[in-house]
């Protein structure tokens, strides 16, 4: 019961948080790229909050499983399922290369850290070296006229903190109850994080992504997918690595390699073809099914 209630309130609060961030961007007249990033942050809130809560609770494997599992699931649902339902996702080749390249570089840095090639501080610097120029480029995009509605802006700002608080509280309940259920069922923390928590926390992203795909907004869809995954890795692994000592198992390293390969393939295919059709979408969905199977066998 705690798990169901926590999941429901978390997803509801995430929907409010995402819509308010989107509205805030419009009020301030921010560039489309920044507005898209804010939307990605809102939809990604349950994933990141769940990973951080699990980390604080001491369940490092579950936390890392949420980060990687949710990122693989995002590619399958936001890109793959959207392509299957919409028939095709059209994305400018340059946008596909840039968005996918940023995400790929961050994942590669995490892999180097997971295999002890670089220390935590180098991981953070590597992520910053990729993400900061990307954010600067987004901020230089064309701005829109500000929506001069002071009372609506004030209301939007006041609604954001309670939504964040509910997301955090709901994530605490989700992590506590999910790990308890997993332990009683004889499941490892890795499986609880990678499959159970990751999938459920990714539902807001999946919904938002499919909606964008069916509306023909392929570039926005790709941007939200890659930005969500980057937020997961930077906020859920890179920054915490400065204060938390991680120990990665062979399966966890293999999961990062899988995510790196999935992102690389998605970037190449979408850059080469200017998007993704149903065959590519089926490939993305099938990749997650295979990923879940590996977790079930070796987790």
Judge contact between 65 and 200, C-beta under 8 A.
Answer: no
CATH match for 2-298 among 1.10.730.10, 1.20.1420.30, 1.10.1270.20, 3.10.150.10: 1.20.1420.30
The C-alpha atoms of residue 218 and residue 271 are separated, in whole angstroms, by: 12
Provide the pLDDT for residue 151.
Answer: 66
Q: Which pLDDT value is given to residue 11? A: 78
The confidence score (pLDDT) of residue 50 equals 84
Per-residue pLDDT of the chain (299 residues; tens, 9 = 90+): 888 888 788 878 877 877 777 777 777 777 766 766 777 777 777 888 888 888 888 888 889 999 999 999 999 999 999 999 998 899 888 889 999 999 999 999 999 999 999 999 999 999 999 999 999 888 887 666 665 556 677 777 788 888 888 888 887 887 788 888 888 888 787 888 888 888 888 887 888 788 878 888 888 888 889 999 999 999 999 999 999 888 899 999 999 999 999 999 999 999 888 888 999 999 999 999 999 999 888 76
What residue ranges in the chain does DSSP mark as E strands? Answer: 88-90, 275-277
What's the pLDDT at 232? 92
Q: Please tell me the distance from the alpha carbon of residue 76 to that of residue 232, in angstroms, as a whole number.
A: 16
Nearest partner of 69 among 197, 251, 205, judged by Cα: 197
CA torsion angle 111 115 120 125 (round to 10):
-40
Domain definitions of the chain by residue range: 2-298
- CA 80 to CA 68: how far, in whole Å? 17
Q: What is the 8-class DSSP label of residue 142?
A: P
pTM of the model: 0.85
């Amino acid at each position: 019961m705690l798990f169901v209630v926590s999941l429901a309130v978390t997803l509801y609060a995430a929907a409010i948080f995402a819509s308010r961030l989107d509205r805030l961007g419009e009020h301030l007249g921010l560039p489309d790229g920044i507005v898209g990033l804010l939307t990605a942050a809102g939809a990604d809130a349950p994933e990141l909050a769940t990973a951080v809560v699990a980390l604080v609770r001491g369940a490092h494997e579950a936390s890392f499983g949420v980060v990687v599992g949710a990122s693989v699931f995002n590619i399958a649902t936001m890109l793959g399922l959207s392509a299957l339902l919409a028939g095709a996702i059209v994305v400018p080749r340059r946008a596909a290369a840039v968005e996918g390249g940023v995400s790929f570089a961050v994942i590669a840095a995490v892999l180097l850290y997971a295999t002890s090639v670089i220390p935590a501080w180098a991981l953070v610097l590597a992520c910053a070296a990729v993400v900061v120029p990307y954010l600067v480029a987004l901020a230089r995009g064309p701005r829109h006229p500000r929506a001069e509605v002071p009372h609506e802006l004030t209301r939007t700002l006041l609604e954001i903190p309670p939504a964040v608080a509910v997301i955090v509280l709901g994530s605490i309940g989700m992590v506590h109850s999910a790990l308890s259920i997993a332990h009683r069922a004889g499941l490892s923390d890795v499986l609880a994080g990678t499959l159970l928590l990751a999938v459920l926390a990714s539902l807001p992203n999946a919904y938002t992504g499919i909606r964008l795909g069916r509306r023909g907004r392929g570039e926005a869809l790709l941007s939200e997918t890659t930005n969500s995954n980057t937020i997961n890795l930077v906020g859920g692994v890179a920054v915490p690595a400065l204060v938390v000592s991680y120990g990665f198992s062979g399966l966890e390293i293999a999961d990062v390699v899988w995510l790196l390969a999935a992102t690389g393939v998605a970037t190449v295919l979408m850059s080469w073809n200017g998007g993704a059709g149903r065959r590519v979408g089926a490939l993305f969905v099938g990749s997650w099914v295979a990923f879940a199977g590996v977790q079930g066998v070796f987790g």
